[in-house]
Every structure is written in C-alpha cells, then in structure tokens.
Amino acid sequence: MAKPSKENSPITEHLAYLLAQANREINRQLELRLSKEGVPVEQWRILKVLSDGNGHSMGELAGAVLLNHPTLTKMIDRMVSDTLVYRVQDPNDRRKVLMFISDRGKVLCKKLNSLAVDQEEHILESYGDKSTSELKRLLENLIDSSN
C-alpha cells in the first residue's frame, strides 16, 4: 500500500487554493452587487475605512484596504476626480497625506454598505448562521497567527 504523501495530493486540498477559490467566488458576488453603483470593491473598502470621519494616511489606508502603495495612489487619484475623497497634507508630519471622505463619498458609501449587507445576508441564508460565524472566527485566527 502506497504511503499517502502530501506532495501528490490534489490542489483542491491545499489551504492556499481553497482560500483563493472561496475569495474569488465571494468577491465576484460582491463585485456584481456593487457594480449597480459602478464602484469596484476596493473603492468601497476605501470609503468604508474613511467613513469614520478621521484622516487616514496613505500607508495606513493601503494596509487596511489590501492594496499596494502605488496602486492605491492611482485609485485615490480617480476618486479625487470623482470628488468622493480629498487629500490634506498632515500638519504634524508633512511627508504624510491624510485622506478624508467627502459628503458625496458618504452618500455613496451608504448605498454601497446596504448592497454589501444584502450579500452578507444572502450568504447567511444559503450557508447558515453558525457556519458563517465559525468561519469568520477561524479566518481571524489564521490572520493573527500569520503575523
């Protein structure tokens, strides 16, 4: 009897693959909803983080919304053109730029939040309340243990 070796196990059994697959699917669904407002998922993330009303530096934002620094800069450029957010130089550290959400951004963010909540509720229905919260817990732990 051959020993079961991980090297030969199908890709569908790798955690990295399962995460990628699940992420792709859930993200696709969310994308579909947000496209009603013509906004990519990343912009929703940005608006949501900024909607606490505080100024957030680019570096901080990049980490929070899971984007590389230059990618974020260019996305913010577009959002500034659309007057959803605006830049202010940090008075305490002039290397930094603080990002703020505009009134127009707040209005859009509300609409997007409700579309996103729609999706979460759809997941709860088909996947179950218990599984969902258990999955969230495990993901949080995984993220913590990876730092």
Name the site residues for a copy of itself (rule: CB under 8 A).
Answer: 6-8, 10-11, 13-27, 29-30, 41, 45, 48-49, 64, 66, 110, 113-114, 116-117, 119-120, 123, 126-127, 131-132, 134-136, 138-143, 145-146
The tokens describing 11, both together, are 């890709």
143 binds, among a copy of itself, DNA, none (CB under 5 to 8 A by kind): a copy of itself
- Cα–Cα distances in angstroms (integers) from residue 55 to residues 88, 91, 94, 135, 145, in the given order: 8, 11, 14, 32, 29
Question: Which string of b and e fits 71-96 if b means at least 16 CB within 10 Å?
Answer: ebeebbeebeeeebbeeeeeeeeeeb
For residue 5, the one-letter residue type is: S
Query: Closest CB to DNA among 25 and 120?
Result: 25
- Looking at 11, 21, 28, 59, which residue binds DNA (CB under 7 A)? 59
Question: Which residues lie near DNA (CB under 7 A)?
Answer: 42, 57-60, 62, 67-77, 87, 93-97
